[in-house]
């Protein structure tokens, strides 16, 4: 029985890492640009379809397709911030909300027009494979996806920690006025951050197609999931997003196993409410000054 519990926890951790990667983009964008991307889940679904098409048409495995998709999403994010969203930075929250919700609706309906409403599975050749580690049986696809998610997270952390551009972006997040005073090109850094945020979503979406079927209507559910994770982890904290993803992944898996699988989402929201009541800034978030 202990092995079964361990198996459930491992499944939760692997899924949680993927969730964490998806939420990381949302957290990075909010932490720097101070815009909440309400079209976040929809972008993840676009990436799922991109990976699906690359696999079905060109036979490119989603694990490899993740790289060009992330690059493409970076470009899209950069352009979107530069051309549309930049004008809304600093404007009232409801205006930003309407803009991004509108974008989300356009994306969902565009996907419906192109791909139809039905689920599209990638059907990877190794989709049914699993590995035995002692008494544990672990899905190969989840392991690959989780390792790839960890690699992307590590690369992003390294970028922000060790590069001059990353340091400049962090400076913008910490003190916008100070960053502008020392001559940083804030507009360009915002666009870079939005691009990086979408690149994370692109990578996460490409990996998601390995464990879930692509459906246009998934977008709002993913947006909600990403919000839950970043609020639990701390809005604006990238480490918090990863920790939040792991917590949600494991709590859903355990709740599904111990209580009722159909009620597992309820537990992530219970966790969210508990965090909001006990630590409103999130587990790793900073208290507002």
Partner 1 sequence: MASNTGFRPSRRDLLGAAAAVSATALIGAPAIVRAEAKTLKIAKLLPRSGLFAAAGQSCHRGAVVTPKVLADYGYAVELMHIDFESNVDVARTQTERAIAEGAQCVTGAFESGATLAIAQVCEQRQIPFVIDIGSAPQLTEQGYKYLVRNFQTNPMLVENGLRQIKDLMAATKVSFESAVYVHANDTFGTLSRKAMDELFPKAGMPFPLKDSIAYDPKAQDLAVEVTKIRAIDPDLVMVTSRSSDAIKLVRDMVRQRFEPKAIVSPGSPGLYDEEFYQALGPLADFHLYNLPWANPKSEMTQALAAAFKQAHPKNRFEVDCFNAGFTFEGILIAADAFKRAGTADGPTLMEAVKATNIERHVMTGGPIRFDEKGQNNDITSAVVQSRHRTPTVVLPADVAVMVPVLPMPAWQGRS
Q: Which residues bind partner 1 (CB under 8 A)?
A: 1, 4, 7-8, 11, 15, 116-119, 121, 123, 127-130, 137, 139, 208, 211-213, 221, 252-253, 256-257, 260-262, 264-265
Query: What is the smallest separation between the CB atom of 77 and partner 1, expressed in angstroms?
Result: 25
> Residue 227, Cβ neighbours under 10 Å: how many?
19
> 150 pairs with which residues across the strands?
none
Query: What is the smallest separation between the CB atom of 178 and partner 1, expressed in angstroms?
Result: 43
The answer to whether 205 and 44 have CB atoms below 8 angstroms apart is: yes
Say how far apart CA 155 and CA 213 lie, in whole Å.
Answer: 27
The answer to whether 12 and 254 have CB atoms below 8 angstroms apart is: yes
Query: What is the smallest separation between the CB atom of 218 and partner 1, expressed in angstroms?
Result: 8
Radius of gyration for the alpha carbons in the chain, expressed in angstroms and rounded: 19
Query: What is the smallest separation between the CB atom of 174 and partner 1, expressed in angstroms?
Result: 37
7 vs 165, which CB is nearer to partner 1?
7
87 vs 263, which CB is nearer to partner 1?
263
Question: What's the Cα-to-Cα distance from 85 to each of 38, 97, 201, 220, rounded to whole Å?
Answer: 12, 11, 17, 20
89 vs 137, which CB is nearer to partner 1?
137
Say how far apart CA 25 and CA 40 lie, in whole Å.
Answer: 8
Query: What is the smallest separation between the CB atom of 67 and partner 1, expressed in angstroms?
Result: 23
Scored b (16 or more CB within 10 A) or e, 43-56 reads bbbbbbbbbbbbbe
184 vs 211, which CB is nearer to partner 1?
211
97 vs 257, which CB is nearer to partner 1?
257
The answer to whether 284 and 245 have CB atoms below 8 angstroms apart is: no
> Torsions phi, psi of 213, nearest 5?
-80, 145
Say how far apart CA 214 and CA 47 lie, in whole Å.
Answer: 9
Query: What is the smallest separation between the CB atom of 250 and partner 1, expressed in angstroms?
Result: 11
68 vs 220, which CB is nearer to partner 1?
220
86 vs 140, which CB is nearer to partner 1?
140
The token duo for 228 is: 């839950």
Query: What is the smallest separation between the CB atom of 262 and partner 1, expressed in angstroms?
Result: 4
Q: Which residue intervals of the chain are DSSP H helices?
A: 2-33, 40-58, 62-83, 93-115, 140-162, 164-174, 176-181, 186-208, 219-233, 238-258, 264-278
84 vs 260, which CB is nearer to partner 1?
260
Query: What is the smallest separation between the CB atom of 63 and partner 1, expressed in angstroms?
Result: 17
> Torsions phi, psi of 22, nearest 5?
-65, -40
């Amino acid at each position: 029985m202990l092995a079964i519990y361990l198996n459930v926890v491992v499944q939760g951790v692997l899924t949680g890492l993927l969730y964490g990667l998806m939420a990381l983009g949302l957290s990075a964008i909010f932490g720097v640009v101070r815009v909440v991307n309400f079209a976040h889940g929809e972008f993840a679904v676009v990436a799922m379809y991109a990976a699906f098409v690359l696999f079905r048409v060109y036979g490119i495995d989603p694990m490899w397709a993740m790289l060009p998709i992330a690059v493409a999403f970076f470009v899209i994010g950069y352009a979107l911030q530069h051309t549309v969203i930049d004008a809304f930075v600093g404007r009232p929250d409801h205006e930003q909300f309407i803009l991004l919700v509108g974008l989300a609706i356009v994306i969902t309906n565009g996907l419906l027009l192109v791909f139809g409403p039905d689920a599209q599975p990638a059907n990877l050749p190794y989709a049914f494979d699993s590995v035995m580690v002692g008494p544990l049986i672990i899905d190969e696809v989840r392991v690959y996806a989780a390792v790839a998610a960890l690699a992307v997270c590590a690369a992003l952390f390294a970028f922000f920690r060790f590069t001059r551009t990353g340091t400049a972006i962090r400076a913008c997040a910490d003190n916008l006025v100070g960053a502008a005073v020392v001559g940083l090109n804030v507009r360009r850094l915002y666009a870079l951050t939005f691009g990086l945020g979408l690149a994370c979503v692109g990578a996460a979406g490409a990996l998601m197609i390995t464990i879930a079927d692509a459906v246009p209507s998934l977008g709002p559910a993913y947006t909600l999931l990403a919000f839950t994770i970043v609020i639990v982890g701390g809005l604006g904290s990238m480490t918090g997003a990863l920790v939040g993803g792991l917590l949600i992944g494991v709590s859903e898996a355990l709740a599904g196993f111990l209580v009722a699988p159909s009620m597992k989402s309820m537990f992530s929201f219970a966790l969210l409410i508990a965090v909001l009541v006990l630590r409103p800034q999130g587990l790793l978030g900073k208290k507002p000054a």
